[in-house]
Amino acid sequence: MRATIHLDTQHHAGPVDRRIFGGFLEHLGRAVYGGVYDPGNPLSDERGFRRDVLDALRPLAFSVMRYPGGNFVSAYDWTDGIGPREARPRRPDFAWKSVETNQFGTDEFLAWCRALGAAPMLAVNLGTGTPARAAHLLEYCNLPAGTSWADRRAANGHPEPYGVALWCLGNEMDGPWQAGHAPAEVYGRQARMASALMKGLDPTIQTVACGSSGRGMGSYLEWDRTVLEIAWDTVDFISAHRYSGNWGGDSASYLAEGVEIDRILADYAGLLAYVRGVKKSAKRVYLSFDEWNVWYRARGDDGNWAEAPPLLEEVYNLEDALVCAQYLMAFLRRADLVKVACLAQVVNVIAPVLTRPDGVLLQTIYWPFALIAASARGIALAPAITAPTYTTAHYGEVPALDAAATYDAEAGTLALFLVNRDRAALTVEIAVADAALGAVLHADLLTGEPHAANTWEAPRAVLPSPGRAEVVDGRLRVTAPGTSFMAVRAKVRTAPAGRSAIVSPADAASAPTA
């Protein structure tokens, strides 16, 4: 079976924002305690940070890390987690019915982010919390010493402000499960007030208003429209969340998950253009897809009031990895819209990395993230894909091939990401209209038995291996086996003349008006 991809370096969706390679760490299950933080374990450093976990996460090149929740944040008092550890209170956690010891809090998280090399993305509590308390946290983190909360930070051993740039205004406030869930109008006013207060103290920050917690919500997009109409002038992003699953055991439909992700992105592009138009605003608000992953097996939220109970410890197979690849590929194609995205989550809880006291396990979903984050650079091209289709119960006929590509003018390289959703192998011909390709730098392939998983007993069941890619007459020819993901990078031999402006149709449609 054959497929073709036509690219043109002048036809693109703008620069790849590295913040789409974000992660998410929540006080949930064994994510923090026994995950990233494990004092006394010989594998941990003097701060209690698991060194092997940091080493495992570094190749994922997380640009940002969202914290401390999630549902957890909506009943969290951040002041419980600062100051001398022995004085910190043990609290029942409303969201996950667990006991929170508060031994890991804001200062520990910010130190951990530095150790990882990721920028923090802090969420404030707009459930049981108030805009004023959110502004106190901003003061604690970002203001120079000289006022009460900034002085507390200095007294806690951190004289210099942290300069946290990205802030989430609550979490999933449309969800009835959320502590402090409120109608969109009420939340929208809270978000506007919190954002204005926080930006009043530090105008350099960017804020994210809560959008719908999923496309299945009855108020999907209506919630978002209401919040955006109220808070538009004070926020920079609206959030989207999605968890995918092969609920019915229908792998053909599940592997076409990218169709649904594209649809959600199109929904938000339309909504943001609509609100901007109604408001006759020159401002742009972008999408922060700050929770995405596969999550359908290890559901349930009852920690039985234990400390760090094992919750949401999903085991991932190859199919799940191909779905994760499709999220990142969809974000790349809509680089004009998606500027922040967070894999939910990073350790133990619906995570690419699992821990035991004596080591770590890399799950299948680790690999597409690592391979795409390593190679996606420069501008995100708009691929024109011609491929055979296959039939799904959910979406009807869908293309067997999903693809994204980036072009790095400085390095003179093209990166290509492919998912073959179907079982038959595809020979994919890739042509760049205004450039000829040179040497293939690498071709990494993830494939195998669709339900194969990495386990403690068989940790190397699903690993990348070298794939087949060659350049023929300036074009790339890639063999994509059935049910596979590939990441290929090639040298661009004939550099295109000059650089273009952003020309994606979405951007042109929403260019500033006079």
CA–CA gap between residue 366 and residue 19 (Å, rounded): 17
Mark 370-403 as b/e (b = at least 16 C-beta within 10 Å). Answer: bbbbbbbbbbbbbbebebeebebeeeeebbbbbb
Which segment (65-73, 266-274, 417-425, 462-470) binds ligand AHR by CB under 6 A? 65-73
Alpha carbons 259 and 338: distance in angstroms, whole number: 16
Angle, alpha carbons 420-421-422 (nearest 5°): 95
Task: Kindly state the smallest distance separating residue 124's Cβ from ligand AHR, in Å.
Answer: 14
User: Is 290 near ligand AHR (CB under 6 A)?
Assistant: no
Determine which one of 100, 108, 139, 172 is catalytic.
172
Min dist. Cβ of residue 97 to ligand AHR (A): 13
Give the span between the Cα atoms of 404 and 471, in whole angstroms: 18
344 binds ligand AHR (CB under 6 A): yes
Instruction: Say which amino acid occupies 94.
Output: F
Q: How far is the CB of 58 from ligand AHR (least distance, A)?
A: 22
Q: With beta carbons less than 8 A apart as the criterion, state whether 493 and 438 touch.
A: yes
392 binds ligand AHR (CB under 6 A): no
Q: Which is nearer to ligand AHR, 122 or 197 (CB)?
A: 122
- How far is Cα 368 from Cα 323, in angstroms, rounded to an integer? 9
Alpha helices in 182-221 (DSSP H): 184-201
- Using CB under 6 A as the binding rule, the residues of this chain from 345 to 374 that contact ligand AHR are 345
In the complex, the smallest distance separating the C-beta of residue 96 from ligand AHR, rounded to whole angstroms, is: 8
Distance, CA of 400 to CA of 391 (rounded, Å): 9
Contact present, 97 and 304 (Cβ < 8 Å): yes
Among 8, 139, 172, 236, binds ligand AHR (CB under 6 A): 172
Tell me whether residue 314 is one of the annotated catalytic residues: no
Interface mask toward ligand AHR for 194-213; x: CB under 6 A: -------------------x
Is 291 designated active site?
Answer: yes
Among 63, 171, 226, 348, binds ligand AHR (CB under 6 A): 171
* 117-146: contacts with ligand AHR (CB under 6 A): none
Minimum gap (Å) between residue 35 Cβ and ligand AHR: 14
- In degrees, to the nearest 5, what angle opens at C-alpha 502 toward C-alphas 497 and 507? 160
Helix (H) or strand (E) holding 136, with range, is helix 131-142
Which residues, numbered 11-50, are part of the site for ligand AHR (CB under 6 A)? 26
Residue 69 engages ligand AHR in binding (rule: CB under 6 A): yes
Q: How many other C-beta atoms can be found within 10 angstroms of the C-beta atom of residue 100?
A: 29
Is the Cβ of residue 213 or residue 226 nearer to ligand AHR in the bound state? 213
Q: CA 503, CA 383: separation in Å to the nearest integer?
A: 13
Q: Which residue is nearest to ligand AHR (CB)?
A: 70
Instruction: Please tell me whether residue 239 adopts helix, strand or coil conformation.
Output: strand
Minimum CB–partner distance for residue 173 and ligand AHR (Å)? 10
393 and 253 in contact (C-beta within 8 Å)? yes
As annotated, the active-site residues are 172, 291
Binding site for ligand AHR (CB under 6 A): 26, 69-71, 171-172, 213, 291, 344-345
